[in-house]
């Protein structure tokens, strides 16, 4: 066994990094590949030839999943340049492994004919998946390339929302009958010659394609060849409906340590299967989306999207933020008279607002996560509100007390210190209350609690903080 083999994961990691480094730091390399300059125009032709040869060697050595990851880590021009070097036979697999954010860039410059040619190189299940997800205006032409049975399946799958089991399931399954022996199953498998990826079990069906059980590959291997399928199969397997929510299903996969599971329709007929690799993608995407959405970031923007796209996808939250900041500004403006009498208030008010924003964001992050992990049930809400308010009260008294003392000392004004402490306690309590209520109410309204929750809580704690602090100051200090 050579060192090369032993380190294959590390070697591939190094090759990906090298490829990215070559393409991003050697601008002439990318330009040459894109045909913007020809080799003849180059001053340092020999050096460029070497680099080109190395890039080509790397591209042909790296397997499709690694090429997909490399494409995701490149700016648009370099992405195009690399894509041109990927051989036709690999392109389908690369597309399958790449995220949708990258597709537009890759498909952009390909002709429909070239795209159709790529589809021919992948499995039927993968082809169905690609046809569903590729740009809409191509679907018609792409559908025509599929055999009639598969065309019907694409139509069927396209009915389901993107985050449903139906949109993620695979059609290629191996089925057996319950009355045959394990020896017969083994003969059948050898005749088939291959199994779909991540096959850890076969599906046992009765009349009408109805699922009656599952037969693990382990079970086949561990039992005597003479036994019947019905004697050793799992007759009560976990199964899903095509309408099930993918994120919930992911938790069941985790909970039950599943590698694959059957998808059945409302009559118990086997439609297809779900596999762990799709589930892992769901988990990655789900948490990624939650993080982005809390910060007011589009789920569609990738880190290398061009400036114009980033501006387009981010403007909504920026505008929202500007509106809420404007409201906060108007609240302060209402207390102009108070501030003009005691300018110190202007320096102190951001502390009250800031500490509220911090606490509110801690609470809301925790609640959004707990909702996602399905840890919050109707019975718990009162407990959660009381808990967060309790934490806020203690923190308010401790840190508000300290800041009140500091204020007293700095401005030599005990009443100002008292107002500071009281305002901090009140704003922290409000932050805690809203931090629990906002995601709860959004869930009740059927909306995703992660979307923009951070922007919302900050708006409330800012406006509220300014109002509480300046209001108290007006009452007690003037």
Of residues 398-427, which lie at the interface with a copy of itself (CB under 8 A)? 399, 402-403, 406
Positions in 90-149 near a copy of itself (CB under 8 A) = 97
Q: Residue 95 or 348: which CB sits closer to a copy of itself?
A: 348
Stretch that binds a copy of itself, among 38-46, 53-61, 142-150, 294-302 (CB under 8 A): 294-302
Exactly one of 39, 114, 222, 475 binds a copy of itself (CB under 8 A); which one?
222
Q: How far is CA 438 from CA 182, 250, 379, in A?
A: 56, 25, 17
Q: How far is CA 380 from CA 196, 367, 370, 375, 433, in A?
A: 44, 12, 11, 9, 14
How far apart, in whole angstroms, are the C-alpha atoms of residue 470 and residue 179?
80
CB of 282 to a copy of itself, least distance (A): 10
Which residue is associated with the tokens 């002709």?
A: 111
Positions in 302-331 near a copy of itself (CB under 8 A) = 303-304, 306-307, 310-311, 314-315, 317-319, 321-322, 324-326, 328-330
Positions in 434-453 near a copy of itself (CB under 8 A) = none
Q: Residue 131 or 294: which CB sits closer to a copy of itself?
A: 294
CB of 132 to a copy of itself, least distance (A): 20
The β-bridge partners of 167 are none
CB of 381 to a copy of itself, least distance (A): 9
CB of 62 to a copy of itself, least distance (A): 11
Count of residues binding a copy of itself (CB under 8 A)? Answer: 143
Is the Cβ–Cβ distance between 103 and 71 less than 8 Å?
Answer: no
Long-range contacts formed by 364-367: CB under 8 A, 24+ apart: 364/294, 364/435, 364/438, 364/439, 364/453, 364/454, 364/457, 365/294, 365/454, 367/435, 367/436, 367/439, 367/440, 367/449
The β-bridge partners of 260 are 275
Q: Residue 10 or 136: which CB sits closer to a copy of itself?
A: 10
Exactly one of 54, 350, 405, 448 binds a copy of itself (CB under 8 A); which one?
350
Positions in 225-244 near a copy of itself (CB under 8 A) = 235-236, 238-240, 244
CB of 280 to a copy of itself, least distance (A): 5
Exactly one of 146, 180, 346, 433 binds a copy of itself (CB under 8 A); which one?
346
Exactly one of 171, 253, 467, 469 binds a copy of itself (CB under 8 A); which one?
253
How far apart, in whole angstroms, are the C-alpha atoms of residue 267 and residue 255?
26
Positions in 164-203 near a copy of itself (CB under 8 A) = 186, 189-190, 192-195, 197-200
CB of 158 to a copy of itself, least distance (A): 24
Q: Is 340 exposed, middle or buried (0-12, 13-18, 19+ CB in 10 A)?
A: exposed
Count other Cβ atoms within 10 Å, centred on residue 15.
17
Q: Residue 97 or 105: which CB sits closer to a copy of itself?
A: 97
Is the Cβ–Cβ distance between 241 and 165 less than 8 Å?
Answer: yes
Strand (E) or helix (H) holding 244: none
Q: Residue 139 or 276: which CB sits closer to a copy of itself?
A: 276
Pairing of strands 239-240, 260-264: parallel
């Amino acid at each position: 066994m050579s060192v090369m083999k032993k380190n294959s994961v590390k070697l591939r990691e190094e090759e990906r990094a090298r490829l990215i480094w070559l393409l991003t730091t050697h601008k002439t390399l990318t330009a040459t590949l894109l045909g913007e300059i020809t080799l003849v125009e180059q001053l340092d032709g020999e050096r460029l030839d070497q680099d080109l040869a190395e890039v080509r060697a790397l591209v042909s050595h790296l397997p499709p999943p690694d090429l997909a990851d490399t494409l995701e880590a490149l700016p648009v021009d370099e992405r195009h340049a690399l894509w041109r070097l990927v051989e036709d036979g690999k392109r389908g697999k690369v597309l399958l492994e790449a995220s949708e954010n990258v597709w537009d860039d890759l498909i952009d410059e390909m002709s429909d004919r070239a795209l159709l040619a790529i589809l021919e190189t992948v499995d039927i299940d993968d082809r169905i998946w690609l046809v569903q997800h590729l740009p809409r205006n191509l679907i018609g032409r792409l559908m025509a390339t599929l055999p009639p049975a598969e065309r019907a399946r694409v139509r069927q799958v396209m009915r389901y929302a993107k985050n449903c089991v139906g949109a993620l399931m695979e059609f290629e399954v191996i089925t057996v009958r319950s009355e045959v022996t394990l020896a017969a199953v083994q003969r059948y498998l050898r005749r088939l010659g291959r199994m779909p990826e991540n096959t850890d079990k076969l599906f046992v069906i009765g009349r009408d394609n109805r699922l009656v059980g599952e037969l693990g590959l382990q079970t086949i291997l561990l039992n005597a060849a003479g036994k019947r399928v019905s004697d050793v199969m799992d007759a009560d397997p976990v199964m899903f409906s095509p309408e099930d929510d993918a994120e919930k299903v992911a938790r069941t996969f985790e909970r039950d340590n599943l590698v694959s599971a059957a998808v059945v329709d409302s009559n118990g007929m086997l439609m297809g299967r779900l596999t762990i690799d799709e589930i892992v993608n769901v988990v990655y995407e789900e948490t990624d989306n939650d993080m982005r959405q809390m910060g007011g970031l589009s789920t569609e923007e990738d880190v290398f999207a061009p400036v114009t796209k980033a501006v387009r996808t981010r403007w909504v939250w920026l505008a929202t933020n500007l509106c809420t900041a404007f409201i906060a500004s108007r609240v302060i403006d209402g207390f102009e008279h108070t501030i003009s009498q005691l300018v110190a208030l202007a320096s102190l008010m951001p502390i009250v607002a800031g500490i509220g924003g911090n606490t509110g964001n801690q609470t809301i992050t925790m609640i959004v996560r707990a909702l996602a992990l399905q840890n919050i049930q109707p019975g718990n809400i009162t407990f959660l509100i009381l808990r967060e308010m309790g934490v806020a009260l203690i923190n308010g008294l401790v840190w508000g007390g300290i800041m009140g003392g500091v204020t007293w000392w700095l401005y030599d004004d005990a009443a100002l210190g008292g107002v500071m402490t009281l305002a901090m306690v009140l704003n922290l309590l409000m932050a805690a209350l809203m931090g629990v209520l906002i995601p709860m109410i959004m869930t009740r309204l059927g909306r995703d609690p992660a979307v923009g929750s951070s922007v919302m809580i900050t708006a409330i704690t800012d406006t509220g903080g300014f109002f509480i602090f300046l209001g108290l100051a007006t009452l007690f200090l003037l």
